[in-house]
Structure 1
Amino acid sequence: MQPLFPAKLKRGDKIRFVSPASTPDKASALKRADDLGRLGFDVDFGRHAFDEIDFYAGTHDERLADLNEAFRDPDVRAVFATRGGRGSYRIADRLDFSAVLRDPKPLLGFSDITALHMMLMRQCALVGVHGALYGDGNGALEPENLDILLSVLMQTGEFSFKSRQEEASSKLTTSGMAKGKLIGGNLETLSTMIGWGLPDLNGAILLIEAVDCMPGLTDRVLTLLIKSGCLNGIVGIAVGQFTLRNREKTEAIIDIVGDHISTLGVPILGGLPFGHGSGALTTPIGSAAILDADAGTLAVSY
């Protein structure tokens, strides 16, 4: 299936924030909406965006309704997740795929939103946008990421990302080059989708990142991904940020990741700025990419 590219945004277009997983901090979400408004976009929120039931932003049906309404509404030109958390996997198989195919729109999110990205690729080949409106630590939008995000949403071209030596995963870099669709996201969420929600990964460059994925869990989810056979056809691996509150365990986790993915015999590029860490950037996923481990670069077309 050929990639399905959403239409490009323009100033004045409507962006809708929805909460397919957990409840966001309301003040932070409203601040990001104001930021987008100052950039010239019309912004609104799904009706259940700030609901709270346990760790979900509303019931499964309510969160699904907000998401499907955004995909169906012809006035909405992009759909932004307010946050990740938990719960997107509970509704991913009930998306209105016909509406997405009729009027493909960019879906921005990461972390738990990986479940939606994967299912939309599986059912529609929709190219997604892995990332967020990351802050700079002082309340403003991080400028480098904002530039990339706006370019991804509003322009056509190629986006190049460099491996960062300061990222713990940079030590996993091997050598070689790979070409294929960049597919993936949050490691734990990817493992949740095995057997029902992953797109075909044959010929793909796998993207993985994780947050607070402790050594035992990291070992289990990678074992599951590899032994399930769903990674047999991948041609390369792009490793993003592995972020832990307990930094002492980071090296052990990176070693576990390397122990697993080295068995796949494909080029690996670590140290990429995708995930939950400092200086994270936005990237398209589901479109053509070139991974050059020797040069330390990942180029993604959109």
Structure 2
Amino acid sequence: MKLYTDQNLYFFWILFVSKIYLYSIVIGTLYHKTENSLIVRKTKKMKTPPFLKPGDKIRIVSPAGKVKEKFVLPAVKWFEKQGYRVELGEHVFASHLQFAGTDRQRLEDLQTALDDPEAAAIVCSRGGYGTVRIISKLNYSKLMEHPKWIVGFSDISILHACLNNHEMATIHGAMPRYFFDKEGTPNENLQSLMQLLTGKGASYSIPAAQGDRQGRTTGELIGGNLSIISSMQGTRCELNTAGKILFLEDIDEFLYHTDRMMHQLKLSGKLKNLAGLILGSFTDMKDNESPFGKTIHEIIAEAVEEFSFPVCYDFPAGHDGKNLALAFGKKWELDVTKTHSTLSLI
């Protein structure tokens, strides 16, 4: 008797193909493209680098714009006085065009710092422009073996995004030039940074601001400079914002540029599934001879009006002097009320 007819073989073939298809869907949940992101992310727990203690090494590098010694050396002296060892990148004060050395020099310094098993933190000397020119050439394998804190803001936002996508927590915070007041006394920027670096946590409370949208939420904090985040769309460093609290700040941008970038985030789905939104300082914003007609608050309010997540305006972080440190990739609680907003590290 014939056990397998042509019809049976066809049935078994369809069943086999169906199983392979279903299996691929299951595997695809680990490596997939969502409506919110082009980033391929593994479902792993976020790595938190060890907190600093006296005797640890801090490396200072310049991955972007060139910097003068007078803006960095006071920070070196202060760190050493607190008991830390400080090592400067070989080309930290180099100059090539507007950069701190050539792309190769900046890449070598940053890669050396990332690979250093003794380093507990890497502090970027300044922002400016240039990190994007070397970001694709970085190798994070040794950093994953020996996690360390990366500190900086502005142009360093692209480094935060890439490392957060690699499940590594980072710190959006002031850089050496902004550590001290006019008398050379450590300011709140440095104090808040050291609170996070040494594991003492953070809880900030600010007065209510115009446009705040009340609510309480928790989520992983990500973000940085709006212009940088906008430029990362479609790249490996594109942010995955779903379920996250997004922080944004910017400087020296035209109002209509800001409006366009906010609508870009909206159209690409980056605002749709946010847990919350925090707006830092938008410093020295510019307008055209023919006025755009809307303030920063109005531009952002319009972009997020159809969503219901809490929104906190005027958070003291960014380019406007006061720059409170924020741990990106870590969970925070945001509570926006009629009288104040509170942001606390969980």
User: With structure 2 as the length reference, what TM-score do the two structures score?
Assistant: 0.80
**Residues 162, 272 of structure 1: 8 Å contact kept:** no
Aligned counterpart in structure 2 of residue 198 of structure 1, from 217, 238, 249: 238
TM-fit CA distance, 1:164: 4.1
The percentage of aligned residue pairs carrying the same residue is 33
The size of the alignment, in residue pairs, is: 295
TM-fit CA distance, 1:146: 2.5
Larger Rg: 2
2:212 counterpart of 1:173: yes
Counterpart in the other structure of 2:344: 299
- What code does the residue aligned with 1:208 have? L
**Residues 163, 270 of structure 1: 8 Å contact kept:** no
2:279 counterpart of 1:239: yes
Q: Do the aligned partners of residues 141 and 101 (structure 1) sit closer, same or farther apart at CA in structure 2, a change above 3 Å counting? A: farther
Aligned counterpart in structure 2 of residue 149 of structure 1, from 177, 183, 193: 193
TM-fit CA distance, 1:265: 2.9
Within a 5 Å distance, the mapping from 1:33-48 to structure 2 comes to 33-48=76-91
Aligned counterpart in structure 2 of residue 129 of structure 1, from 154, 168, 171: 171
TM-fit CA distance, 1:87: 1.2
Alignment gaps of 5+ in structure 1: none
Q: Do the aligned partners of residues 137 and 199 (structure 1) sit closer, same or farther apart at CA in structure 2, a change above 3 Å counting? A: same
Counterpart in the other structure of 1:67: 110
Secondary structure of the corresponding residue to residue 272 of structure 2: coil
Aligned counterpart in structure 2 of residue 182 of structure 1, from 215, 221, 237: 221
Q: Do the aligned partners of residues 172 and 141 (structure 1) sit closer, same or farther apart at CA in structure 2, a change above 3 Å counting? A: farther
2:261 counterpart of 1:216: no
- What code does the residue aligned with 1:126 have? M
**Cα distance in 1 for residues equivalent to 2:274 and 2:327:** 18
**Residues 211, 242 of structure 1: 8 Å contact kept:** yes
- What code does the residue aligned with 2:216 have? M
**Cα distance in 1 for residues equivalent to 2:311 and 2:271:** 14
TM-fit CA distance, 1:254: 2.7
Q: Deviations over 1:83-141 (max 9, x none)?
A: 0011112222322121121111000100110000000111x211111112424441524
Secondary structure of the corresponding residue to residue 15 of structure 1: strand
- What code does the residue aligned with 1:22 have? G
**Cα distance in 2 for residues equivalent to 1:153 and 1:32:** 15
**Cα distance in 1 for residues equivalent to 2:102 and 2:267:** 34
TM-fit CA distance, 1:286: 1.0
Secondary structure of the corresponding residue to residue 65 of structure 1: helix
Q: Do the aligned partners of residues 188 and 32 (structure 1) sit closer, same or farther apart at CA in structure 2, a change above 3 Å counting? A: same
TM-fit CA distance, 1:246: 5.9
RMSD: 2.1
TM-fit CA distance, 1:75: 2.2
- What code does the residue aligned with 1:17 have? I
Q: Do the aligned partners of residues 193 and 36 (structure 1) sit closer, same or farther apart at CA in structure 2, a change above 3 Å counting? A: same
**Cα distance in 2 for residues equivalent to 1:114 and 1:238:** 15
**Cα distance in 1 for residues equivalent to 2:133 and 2:205:** 34
Secondary structure of the corresponding residue to residue 163 of structure 1: strand
- What code does the residue aligned with 1:181 have? E
Counterpart in the other structure of 1:84: 127
**Cα distance in 2 for residues equivalent to 1:120 and 1:250:** 38
The worse-fitting range, judged by mean Cα deviation, of 28-37 and 252-261 is 252-261
**Residues 164, 272 of structure 1: 8 Å contact kept:** no
Counterpart in the other structure of 1:227: 267
Q: Do the aligned partners of residues 136 and 203 (structure 1) sit closer, same or farther apart at CA in structure 2, a change above 3 Å counting? A: same
